[in-house]
Structure 1
Amino acid sequence: MHRRVRGEDASRDRNTFRKRDLAAAVAGIKGAVSFDIGLGPYTSFRIGGPADVLVEPADIEDLVQLVRQARRQRVPIFVVGGTNLLIRDGGIRGIVVNMSALRSIKDEPGQVLYVEAGVGMPTLISYAIRRSLAGLEWAAGIPGTVGGCVVMNAGTRLGEMKQSVQAVRMVSMRGKVIDIPSSAIPFEYRRADLPKGIVAGVWLQLRQGVKADIQQVVKEYLHYRRETQPLAQPSAGCVFKNPPKDSAGRLIESAGLKGMRVGDAEVSTKHGNFIVNRGQARAADVVALIEKVRRIIRRQAGIRLDLELKIVGQR
């Protein structure tokens, strides 16, 4: 879940936001507040420079207060929580929000779950299985948060997030809580066209199933993904969008690029459309490797690979 909630450029000089403005923006917040902290541990890539301030709101009321105060101080907010994110080595100026404390799940009538944005997809799938609720099997192996999966309309060959979304709860740029029905959200390939703001929760319409059958589908798909994707290594999922009627992974493998490295960034030997962090990769290494792959595919196949990965922050 990585969405700006103000129009300012995250790449401005870090001295733009004075310490007193940042302090005023986070004053009275109940959740954890950390200044000048590296963002690598908060991304699936394990890569990322520092945030001026990292805030983990305790609840939605805390989030509302943060957004309102940040707006008054003219400090931008950026949310982390998805898997298709690379944060540059210079980090992100302003406030970075980690939604991990918003992790409640509530049962509602008609096989509906209300899930807060910070819930991890593995946790949600386990919760659904215990209640014999089907509809999320496609997400087996996705490590991101529910909020991030909504924002990027996460998906696999088995399905997409949009198929289950009934409504989304957001905190607007003005600090108001708004609920948006799925019928009012244009979902696209790896993107949900949401209003500017922060996803706080989502209502998911699932269906009653047989627990053993759901478990079997999840088990089989996890096995497939472990055999074909580098799930045990830090990555951001698929780097490139699939071109029409083709596969980015196939193109990269056909070009003999599996195993290509820049520093500790490597094109996965398991799946050509993954770049993995072999330990100490920098964002600059990943970006350089992306450009090398793009140039070679453009030269050999005449195809421009568009990014599915989002790259943010300062160089």
Structure 2
Amino acid sequence: MASRSARRATTRSSTTRRKNLRAAVAGLRGAVTFNAPLGRYTSFRIGGPADVLVEPADIEDLVTLVRQARARKLPIFVVGGTNLLVRDKGIRGIVVSLSKLRRITEEPGSVLYAEGGVGMPTLIGYAIRRSLSGLEWAAGIPGTVAGCVVMNAGTRLGEMKDAVKAVRIVTPEGTVTDCPAEQMAFSYRRARLPAGIVAGVWLQLKPGVQADIEQVVKDYLHYRRDTQPLTLPSAGCVFKNPPHDSAGRVVEAAGLKGARVGDAQVSEKHANFIVNRGKATAKDVLALIRKVRAQVARKTGVKLELELKLVGQA
């Protein structure tokens, strides 16, 4: 049993942490929510609470938050991608949603600038209306621009790296810097970026025929709807494709389509998706992942690597 002095120390530590959190978000113009459930901010609809969730009003507000959090040595985590599983006890520190950073502008030379919180469906629609091609590959991806850059999101039609011209980053020191694509390294579902928060992205597109662009997007949306479980919450592909193979194929070959732990289920439509059938917890998903990896390794000899990003406390 903990001693009285240990309990007092824990209480003092908790009180100090709460004071630091409140000081870090003081004066912000955006939305601030303490003990915020994160399930509503993830495509999986799963996740414990954040100590505090902040939705900065604009980039200047984000800069203020980063500086105030740094002064109090508080960690910041940004939500917004689709390949994310937040554990059931949530995330300590400050969680940032860029949902209010949704400005899009067109620049000369078929370039679009989009703030980090712009949803990819919104951006694709904007590009189509201006007869700009180069984002058709992202049809059906529900994540944000920033999330797609950080994970170098992609499909069989292309990847984010194919369009990125430069990235605007709020550094850990709270300054704004613009980094050209040549200074970044992209690989399969990964981008090596300067440290900080992706606040905006310049995308180099190319002129096209609006009807042709719309048709490609429409055809690919039909393909995704026919082959992927888009009607149930998920985090997209769970595993990276093995060399010269498909993760979905090896999971299916191991007899795991439809396998369940609680309300977490390997999709019956695409075996590289785990779906939330209603009340799945992160614990359920992780147990199912362990089951899948073990059975795939035993039956096929393939060691699956996670594409899904795990964050938070178990």
TM-score range, shorter chain: over 0.9
The one-letter amino acid of 1:181's match is P
Query: Which residue matches 2:24?
Result: 25
In 1: Cα distance, 2:42 partner to 2:252 partner: 26
Does 1:99 pair with 2:122? no
**Pair 1:273–1:15, CA change in 2 (3 A):** farther
- 1:311 corresponds to: 310
Give the counterpart letter for 1:143 in structure 2. Answer: P
- Cα–Cα, structure 1 residues 49 and 16, in superposed 2: closer, same or farther, change >3 Å? farther
Q: Please say if 1:36 is aligned against 2:13.
A: no
- SS at 1:113 equivalent: strand
CA contact (8 A) 1:17 1:94 kept: no
Q: Distance in 2 between matches of 1:145 and 1:248?
A: 24
Match of 1:115 in 2: 114
Q: Does 1:217 align with 2:216?
A: yes
Counterpart CA distance in 2 for 1:37 and 1:118 is 19
Contact persistence 1:118–1:146 (CA under 8 A) = yes
Greater relative CO (CA pairs within 8 A, separation 6+)? 1
1:171-225 C-alpha deviation (Å, 9 max, x unpaired): 0000000000000000011011012100000000000000000000000000000
- The gaps in structure 2 that reach 5 residues or longer are 1-12
Secondary structure at the aligned position of 2:249 is classed as helix
Residue 3 of structure 2: aligned partner: none
The code of the aligned residue for 2:255 comes to G
| Counterpart position of 2:300 | 301
Q: Which amino acid aligns with 1:250?
A: R
Cross-structure match for 1:5: none
Write the distance in 2 (CA, Å) between the matches of 1:25 and 1:97.
Answer: 12
Please list, as runs of the form range in 1=range in 2, the aligned pairs for 1:196-215 lying within 5 A after superposition.
196-215=195-214
Cα deviation digits, residues 241-276 of structure 1 (max 9, x gap): 000011100001111111000000000000000000
1:1-315 pair list within 5 angstroms? 15=14, 18-315=17-314
Q: List structure 1 segments (4+ residues) > 6 angstroms apart after TM superposition.
A: none
Instruction: State the Cα RMSD in Å.
Output: 0.9
Residue 16 (structure 1) shift: 8.8
CA distance change for structure 1 residues 250 and 15 in 2, over 3 Å: closer, same or farther? Answer: farther
Give me the whole-angstrom Cα distance separating, in 2, the residues matched to 1:113 and 1:195.
21
Q: Work out the CA distance in 1 between the residues paired with 2:264 and 2:311.
A: 17
Q: How far, CA to CA, are the matches of 2:129 and 2:229 in structure 1?
A: 27
* 5+ residue gaps, structure 1: 1-13
- 1:191 & 1:305 partners in 2: Cα distance? 17
Change (3 A) 1:132 1:165: same
C-alpha distance in structure 2 between counterparts of 1:125 and 1:235, whole Å: 21
Secondary structure in structure 2 of the residue aligned to 1:18 = helix
TM-score normalised by structure 1 residue count: 0.95
| AA of the residue aligned to 2:104 | I
Alignment partners' CA distance in 2, 1:118 and 1:68: 20
Tell me, yes or no, if the aligned pair for 1:17 and 1:75 is still in contact at 8 Å. no
How many Å separate the matches in 2 of 1:26 and 1:17?
Answer: 15
1:205/1:302 CA distance change after superposition, 3 Å: same
Structure 1 residue 37: deviation in Å? 1.0
Alpha-carbon distance in structure 1 between the residues aligned to 2:251 and 2:87: 24
* Change beyond 3 A, Cα 1:237–1:17: farther
Residue 303 of structure 1 and its aligned partner are, at CA, apart by: 1.1
Alpha-carbon distance, 1:18 to partner: 1.4
Which letter maps to 2:67?
R
What is the aligned-residue identity percentage? 73
Q: Is the 8 A contact 1:263 1:281 kept in 2?
A: yes
Per the TM alignment, residue 28 of structure 1 is displaced from its structure 2 partner at its CA by 0.4
Alignment correspondent of 2:8: none
Structure 2 residue aligned with 1:4? none
For 1:226 and 1:151, locate their aligned partners in 2 and report how far apart those are by CA, in whole Å.
25
CA distance in 2, matches of 1:294, 1:223: 30
Q: Is the CA contact (8 Å cut-off) linking 1:187 and 1:193 kept in structure 2?
A: yes
Please report the TM-score for the alignment, with normalisation by the length of structure 2: 0.95
Give the residue type in structure 2 aligned to 1:310.
Answer: K
Give secondary structure in 2 for the equivalent of 1:129: helix
Local SS of the residue matching 2:161:
helix
- Tell me how far 1:15 sits from its aligned partner: 3.9
Decide whether aligned partners of structure 1 residues 74 and 16 sit closer, same or farther in structure 2, where only a CA change above 3 A counts.
Answer: farther
